[in-house]
Structure 1
């Protein structure tokens, strides 16, 4: 197990730990993303056991005690297991997440009260700007939410596009086929009426970099990649409906939480 550091967009660093024993014979990466700014932000905390390695990587870019914001896609060990270790190491840091996460988990789990973010709220980090978006159940978790860094066009997309193996930090190659292979293996995505519309609305952000929690990050037409992922899940839903596994929805409810992407 080793941890690598790479800049995948201007001032956005991927911290990646490869675990060869996880995710089958190909292994699995667990990635965190540091946004270097006047108020540095860490997206994904990592497992508790990874804190020494990940914090050492952060320290290569900025002193850990300067960290101002800690956030993540949803409440899960690989996303936020070390949350309180980061709060202990960075006295001014705040955990930031959406209303649901704060209400059901973080107000109790975090050692300091979390900062609640509204749907579409933009936080000025000083040189970087992140927009928070509620994405309930996409890819999974009632409290799920993502960040879009506006100055670089980087979508911090959590578990979307998850794939196995250890590839380069940044790729321009297809990420859809590997993502669907991982979906067949893990069955991790919540397939419901919100899944496809949420992905379509994320595509309207037109990201140029997709920062993946598991696998290589992607540089290129992020909108096309998100639409292709939506197409793949739409086909899965149609197949399940045809087989009688799912009942076709009469109408999908409106999807909120995507700010000006709507």
Structure 2
């Protein structure tokens, strides 16, 4: 079952909870002149997501499918979306386009940098590179400048079938999730490098009002301090120096 919640004007969270993992997989649809989906989802989830999207827009009218980094839960279902939406284009970082997507996808990707602006109608998007934050050389986060929403992928990952939107501090559940993953098969889930704090502080400088979180509750409220505090949590759990 996919649950649908509007977490900001025209921004809908499509969430599928997987009990075996005690984890939500969240996908975000922006309803605008040129609709945008952030996270294409796993291939197996495509039928459920398509039904959920159909409650909000005609899925064949989807124009942009974006994600942070090349990973199955982020873009495994990409080609399924491109097949049903003939005008849709993949959207990712320029590195992602070059090293992964243009070979994988059935249509070329729009590879963006922070200097590029994608306008979908009422809303404006930029892609900010964040290598290895949360994962991969190609990683980036998308920022919508009009409503100040940050699509932050696995940042602030936490477990549970939790509420769709919160104004409570996300640091404690994120810390708990990182500690839970340490020592198991997911150890090393997120690297800490000399660039980590600087990248997160640069995202904090954007002063987002909404965090669209892939695994767990999204957040509403001042987000800059949360992003700064996250650097310390990553360092505490994953710095091996």
Cα distance in 2 for residues equivalent to 1:120 and 1:192: 25
Q: Does 1:156 align with 2:156?
A: no
What aligned pairs does 1:173-192 form with structure 2 within 5 A after superposition? 173-186=168-181, 187-192=188-193
Q: Which residue of 2 aligns with 1:233?
A: 234
Q: CA deviation at 1:236?
A: 4.7
User: 2:7 maps to what in 1?
Assistant: 8
Structure 1 spans left out of the alignment, 5+ residues: 247-262
TM-score by length of 2: 0.94
Q: Which residue of 1 aligns with 2:16?
A: 17
TM-score under structure 1 length normalisation:
0.87
Q: Distance in 2 between matches of 1:160 and 1:221?
A: 16
**Match of residue 104, structure 1, among 68, 82, 99:** 99
**1:84 maps onto 2:79 in alignment:** yes
CA contact (8 A) 1:139 1:195 kept: no
CA deviations on 1:84-104 (whole Å, 9 max, x unpaired) are 000001000000111211111
Map 1:97-136 → 2, pairs under 5 A: 97-136=92-131
* Deviation for aligned residue 1:118: 2.4
Q: Shift in Å at residue 185 of structure 1?
A: 2.5
* Secondary structure of the corresponding residue to residue 20 of structure 2: coil
| SS of alignment partner, residue 50 of structure 2 | helix
Structure 2 gaps of 5+ residues are 182-187
1:133-144 matches, cutoff 5 A: 133-144=128-139
> CA offsets, 1:29-83, max 9 Å, x none?
0000011111110000100010011111111111001100011010111001100
Task: Give CA-to-partner distance per residue, 1:127-165, whole Å, 9 cap, x none.
Answer: 111111111111111100111111111100000000000
Q: Which residue of structure 2 lines up, in the alignment, with residue 213 of structure 1? A: 214
Question: Contact 2:125–2:144 at 8 Å: present in 1 too?
Answer: yes
Larger radius of gyration: 1
Residues 182-230 of structure 1, C-alpha deviations (whole Å, 9 max, x = no match): 1122342111011111111100111111000000101111111111112
Cα distance in 2, alignment partners of residues 162 and 232 from structure 1: 12
Structure 2 SS opposite 1:21: helix
Greater displacement, 28-37 / 174-183: 174-183
* Cα deviation digits, residues 161-180 of structure 1 (max 9, x gap): 00000111101112101111
Task: Please name the residue that 2:185 is paired with.
Answer: none
Is residue 53 from structure 1 mapped to residue 51 from structure 2 by the alignment?
Answer: no
Tell me how large the CA RMSD over aligned residues is.
1.2
